[in-house]
Amino acid sequence: MNVKDKVVIITGAGSGIGAATAKLFGTHGAKVVVSDINIGNATKVAEEINLQGGIASAVKTDVTKYEEVKSLVADTVNKHGSLDVMVNNAGIGGKHQAKTADHTDDDWHNVIAVNQTGVFYCMKVAIKQMLIQGKGNIVNVASLAGIKASGNNLSYSASKFAVVGMTKSAALEYGRKNIRINAVCPGFTHSALLEQLLSVSPDMGDKLKRFIPMGRFGEADEIAEAICWLASENSKFITGETITLDGGTSL
């Protein structure tokens, strides 16, 4: 995977898919900015990358705050001279599982703020920098819930369909500016987010696996491989694309 020396920011990189992605970029020789609202977790991930001979630093960023996203990108460019890859991974689920009429306002506002507005802010700020450089690469982490219906999950579904739409629309706008923008759509993948879903009932895991032709949940490092590939020169004619990694669930 050709990402050596690339300057990469990953949001929500303190755990799960983001942490696995940060570590994978680290092993491939990228300069990794491990960003998360949880600075303790981000610091641990950056330390692990550095211990294994990579180059990483941790930055506290809440993606719902435009000024913090601006500082994240500006500080990265000051430190490393450019921003080659922006991985917009930070995301949350709603706290309650409920049909639309009972979907809480709090869940709606919180999920849209992180998953949708956060990705908008990160794309907006990153693209401004990439236009100055004359090149760049963005990978958004959407979801299977962004291409297929999912019940009891309206804000999450809305936010992830939005991420897919923003990915395609922005890719259309910046293709001639040498900026590629793609998304991955993971299915159920082991992480804190999945644990939250599984905690709803003891048989939830078995119920979900019935819908997965491969019969198992995904692993964070399996999603990381696709993110890293989209960010690399190995995929250089691909833009506006979504890659679904779901063990066949969407079939």
Ligand X SMILES: NC(=O)c1ccc[n+]([C@@H]2O[C@H](COP(=O)([O-])OP(=O)(O)OC[C@H]3O[C@@H](n4cnc5c(N)ncnc54)[C@H](O)[C@@H]3O)[C@@H](O)[C@H]2O)c1
State the residues that interact with ligand X by CB under 6 A: 11-12, 14-18, 36-38, 41, 61-64, 89-92, 114, 118, 141, 143, 186, 188-189, 191-194
Q: How far is the CB of 116 from ligand X (least distance, A)?
A: 11
- Cα–Cα–Cα angle for 156, 42, 35, rounded to 5 degrees: 60
Q: How far is the CB of 144 from ligand X (least distance, A)?
A: 6
Burial call 146-162: b when 16+ CB within 10 Å, e when fewer: bbbeeeebbbbbbbbbb
- In the bound state with ligand X, the residue whose beta carbon lies nearer, of 48 and 131, is 48
- Do residues 170 and 163 touch, judged by C-beta distance below 8 A? no
- In the bound state with ligand X, the residue whose beta carbon lies nearer, of 50 and 110, is 110
Q: How far is the CB of 31 from ligand X (least distance, A)?
A: 20
- In the bound state with ligand X, the residue whose beta carbon lies nearer, of 3 and 92, is 92
> Residue 167 CA to chain centroid, in angstroms?
12
Helices vs. strands in the chain: H and E counts, helices first: 9, 7
The C-alpha R_g of the chain, in whole angstroms, comes to: 17
- In the bound state with ligand X, the residue whose beta carbon lies nearer, of 115 and 129, is 115
Q: Is 66 a catalytic residue?
A: no
Sheet containing strand 7-10, edge to edge, reads 55-60, 31-36, 7-10, 85-88, 136-141, 179-186, 242-245
Q: How far is the CB of 55 from ligand X (least distance, A)?
A: 21
The catalytic residue positions are 156
